[in-house]
Structure 1
Amino acid sequence: MSLFEECIEALGENVHVLYDNSREKILSHFESSFPFSDWGQIEWKNLSSYAEVNTFDEIQSFLNQKMDEYNDVVYIIWDEGTLPIIQSTLDKVFEAIDDVTAVSFDTWIFSPSSGYVIEIFHDGEVKVGLK
């Protein structure tokens, strides 16, 4: 079983795997919502609000402070361009985070409807921010 398949299994029910046009629409929305550096990391200084975090509680605290409410539906995007994008919920992603981040070097958890992103960069740096 591949790391991707293990991730899908760990996320459980109600996971949607997006290929082709659906994948491209989410990816395009993601890339137009946040500025990226040449090396593929979000340019955080260009966002209205962000924080470096160490725990999921800190992520939830940031989101709760910055937003009255936020959508739990998120998309998992990896730096490996051949991988599909996964739709799940933030809670499920947090529960299976080791499996999610094992799939590729860099991982983004993106909520287009709420306008936030969580970047888990390969150097161990984790940031959350709003567009």
Structure 2
Amino acid sequence: MDKFFNACVEALGKEKEVYDEERTIRAFNRFLEAFSFAVIEINWEKYPDHKVISGPKDLKGLKLNDCFIFWNEGRLPAVKTTFSQAIKCRQKIAELSPFAWIVGANYDWVLEFHSQGKVRFTFAD
């Protein structure tokens, strides 16, 4: 596995589960079904109430728990962790791929990291 991925997973601490290829595919496909996509990023026009996030303070007050981390880099497995751990490691997560997503374990919200530094958040329809 990639040393940068391993460093990211290590930084997540003990509260994580790295999925195998089959579980990654199933989880990622559920993510694709839950949100509307435009090529490789979320189609933000379909989510007019989305928020552009400038830092963790923009997410304060949201009761977000377990989540998945997905990358558009196909060789990287999905990781299940807590939202607080994912946010602590957001830089490492975002650095691994041009697009990365932190998605609620119930596929009810998403935080998208774009390679150009833009971060957006929305709830599912």
1:27 alignment partner in structure 2: 28
Check conservation: 2:30, 2:107, Cα contact below 8 A.
no
SS at match of 1:123: coil
Number of equivalences: 123
SS at match of 1:98: helix
1:84 alignment partner in structure 2: 77
**Structure 2 alignment gaps of length 5 or more:** none
Q: Deviations over 1:30-75 (max 9, x none)?
A: 000111112x1101121263111101110234xx3xxxx44x1000
**Structure 1 alignment gaps of length 5 or more:** none
For 1:52-131, list aligned pairs within 5 A.
Answer: 52-61=52-61, 64=62, 69-70=63-64, 72-113=65-106, 115-131=108-124
- Percentage of pairs with the same residue: 21
TM-score normalised over the length of structure 1: 0.86
Check conservation: 1:76, 1:85, Cα contact below 8 A.
yes
Check conservation: 1:18, 1:84, Cα contact below 8 A.
yes
TM-score normalised over the length of structure 2: 0.90
Q: Deviations over 1:3-23 (max 9, x none)?
A: 000001100102100122211
Which segments of structure 1 move beyond 3 Å, counting only runs of 4 or more? none
